Structure 1
């Protein structure tokens, strides 16, 4: 069993690198499609201003894309450096989507990002537009395969424990790909990325209008951002309902923690809009609830109960006790591969083997666990309720704010009054960081809510770490913090530099004034 400090430090390192990397991913997803939309208008109308819009926003896209690549590559290395047993135990399943992402989607992105920047004078309008669409497609394909891998961690389908290799091995790659959790996470995540891209364009364009610069440029950009952003923000809310449904099916403890629902509610369960979760007393004070709402969202029915934390904890104790049978059979089979009784017992109880492994953080030999040890292990299945409760509510509140802001922007754009209200432009500008905040909170809910599992119900996080010392992890963590801080400074400087310059400062727009016509007499003399 790894030292607790190594586990916590390894988790902290991966969390920091993942959250930092995800600053760049959603902007890449959203901005790539906005570039494709703007260039489509250019190809259809032939108006030069739309081409310059694509080129200008493309500069900021390129900076963000480069940072995303630099921060994303290092994350995968950590599966070997910090999470070696995780990679060994489930690498056959988890590694396949990552390999496909690298071979297919990443190379597609890398190829067409070059053609996007250097193909303006070498390709026809239509050919360049196709390249831009393929670039956007590549960014989304990358998200598909990453979220297939992550979705499998949340809902491990298409795999089973092999007693001969003592590892999880794939049984149906089709089930892994079409995992309903992965599908729900993909559409919800990319829609959130589209909101980020739309807000990025809207906010920077609002800044230009506040300063009386690039008005034609900014208004057209804001029109595209308002339309795209409104559709994306509505999609996030609608698709979030699907995510809630899949969580209720596969991660009941996560849902109960998000709702701070300690006791099983009679169906249909209410949704808690506001409350003060009290972990010690196992209750929620000052709760304001909307009747039926949670039951309808999470179960899509009026007669299906949602279990509370206390009942789920009791169920975890039962699964731990059942898993001990599988754990004992596994050890017997490891000692004697021909033990038919052990193989049969392991097959019948393998579904709860992961729960027995939770005892490894309580006692060295789970087979010697006391009822108190089992209760401690079962209690560890409860994630941090206040963090999940408030992260989810802030995220949802921001989602509805984005709908209102983009809807109002769309209305102003339709009336050609985007620059009519200074307060609106200031609101749009100061809203710039909010989609990132919502996206990061979404990942906290998804990943922190899965604890104590690295693979839901299969592998506890505490067992997945490498055989390294806390000093070694401190060293790598410090290196990542320094490296990523430097990248953050460079990224902020470059983004601010080119955003402040704007299309006029970069010589993109307005076009150079035509030289005055030479007088007829002077022309004849010449």
Structure 2
């Protein structure tokens, strides 16, 4: 068993590096397609202002892209350094989409980013537009393969445990790629990035309009961003609903924690909790306000479906734990003797193996064979309780994300309406709201990530491998040193991003360009003066 402090520090370090990195990803996803849209208009209309828009927003995209790459490279190495047991258990499956992401998406993106920035005078208009679209496509392909890897952690489709190697092995590559959880998360996350990019462009454009600067440039940028953002936000809400339905089917513990559902919801009158203060220790709400007749149709898309609550899920977890203990004991026996009877016993209980691993934490000396009938009820109760994620964190991270999404619809809708009517400058409140909202979509993305990953706990691979068994056996001193180092380094990256973004946004389009100084023209020498070569042919 790995020191729990090391496990917690490993989780904290990965969470911080992921949260730092994920501040840059949404802008990359969103700005890439906004650039493609602006350049498309430029190629169709030939109007210089749309090229200026593409160049200016492209500069801000480039700053964000470069720093995003720097913060993301370390994360893949963390799986090997800090999560070696996890990497051993699922490396054959999990490593494949990560490798494809690096070879197919990241390298393609990096290559064509260079062509996008430096190919304006070397490529034809259609060719350069194609390059910009390839950059946007590659950015989203990168997100696709990362989320396929993450989808495997949420729902390990396409793999099967091999008791001989003690590893998850490929069963179906197509099942891994087309996992419903992975595909739903990819679309939801990508479009959330479009919302972030749209709010970024709209907010900075509003800043120019409020200051009466670059008015035509800002008005056109604002309109494109507002329309793009409104469509994207509506799509995010719709796809978020589909993702919630996926959680209901695949991760009922996540859904129960997300809704603060202690008791099973029966019938159409079940209330959806608008506000609550979940108490994880007492497993009840200290206070709650609900809206009746909303939860069941919202989650199940039906009126009479029963949605299991935490108490019911804990009872089910106890039964799975009994089966999982038998699986681990049979697996240990098979490893020692390769007895076919032991293998058959393991296969019978194989799907509950993860609960056996989870129970090891509460067994005497982590030995499941040492659990006596007298100790079994206590082990089952602790394991069942541990199978539920932190309800307070899950409940509120989900609601903050949803609340921000609703606010974005309002801001984008008013922005698009007044922009299309050419009355935007008559409504400074809308422009100020757009400015203040610039960081909020990224904050919503962060809370969405917390909702997804906290809801998966206590597993690194849902239902198969507990988090406390996945970390590397480092010392506490090493973990503290590396954690502090990452925090300082990534804070410098964010400071650099903010400095550069503020600098070039304030300068505005065109004003930051350094014009080459003309070379001095030497005076023409006059006949008879020094410097004039007195030759017949002159």
Unaligned runs of 5+ residues in structure 1 are 510-526
Distance of 2:425 and 2:175 partners within structure 1:
51
Which has the larger displacement, 3-12 or 476-485?
476-485
Deviations 1:395-430 (A, max 9, x none): 111101101110111101110112112222211111
2:369 to 363, 367, 370: 367
Q: What pairs with 1:55-454 in structure 2 (closer than 5 Å)?
A: 55-268=55-268, 269-337=270-338, 339-363=339-363, 364-369=366-371, 370=375, 371-454=377-460
Distance of 2:97 and 2:422 partners within structure 1:
46
Unaligned runs of 5+ residues in structure 2 are 516-538
Deviations 1:322-377 (A, max 9, x none): 1011100110011012x011000111101000001012322311222322122112
Q: 1:469 aligned to 2:492?
A: no
Query: What is residue 522 of structure 1 aligned with on the other side?
Result: none
Q: Retained in 2: the 8 A contact 1:394–1:438?
A: yes
Distance of 1:280 and 1:92 partners within structure 2:
38
Q: Retained in 1: the 8 A contact 2:411–2:430?
A: no
Query: What is residue 520 of structure 1 aligned with on the other side?
Result: none
The structural deviation recorded for 1:28 is 0.3
Distance of 1:367 and 1:93 partners within structure 2:
31
The structural deviation recorded for 1:293 is 2.3
Q: 1:28 aligned to 2:34?
A: no
Q: Retained in 1: the 8 A contact 2:265–2:296?
A: no
Q: 1:484 aligned to 2:490?
A: yes
Q: 1:9 aligned to 2:15?
A: no
Q: Retained in 2: the 8 A contact 1:214–1:504?
A: no
The structural deviation recorded for 1:485 is 1.1
Q: Retained in 2: the 8 A contact 1:357–1:366?
A: no
Q: What pairs with 1:18-57 in structure 2 (closer than 5 Å)?
A: 18-57=18-57
Distance of 1:117 and 1:346 partners within structure 2:
57
Provide the secondary structure at the position in 1 that maps to 2:508: helix
**Paired residue total:** 508
> Where does structure 1 differ by over 3 angstroms across 4 or more consecutive aligned residues?
none
TM-score of the two chains, using structure 1 as the length reference: 0.95
Distance of 1:98 and 1:273 partners within structure 2:
38
TM-score of the two chains, using structure 2 as the length reference: 0.93
Distance of 1:228 and 1:17 partners within structure 2:
30
The structural deviation recorded for 1:297 is 2.7
Q: Cα RMSD (Å) of the superposition?
A: 1.3
The structural deviation recorded for 1:191 is 1.0
Distance of 1:148 and 1:261 partners within structure 2:
29
Q: Retained in 2: the 8 A contact 1:256–1:309?
A: yes
Distance of 1:83 and 1:277 partners within structure 2:
31
The structural deviation recorded for 1:507 is 3.8
The structural deviation recorded for 1:53 is 0.5
The structural deviation recorded for 1:17 is 0.3
The structural deviation recorded for 1:303 is 2.4
Q: Retained in 1: the 8 A contact 2:325–2:359?
A: no
Distance of 1:493 and 1:95 partners within structure 2:
36
Provide the secondary structure at the position in 1 that maps to 2:317: helix
Distance of 1:29 and 1:119 partners within structure 2:
21
Query: What is residue 524 of structure 1 aligned with on the other side?
Result: none
Provide the secondary structure at the position in 2 that maps to 1:274: strand
Provide the secondary structure at the position in 2 that maps to 1:232: helix
Distance of 1:273 and 1:367 partners within structure 2:
46
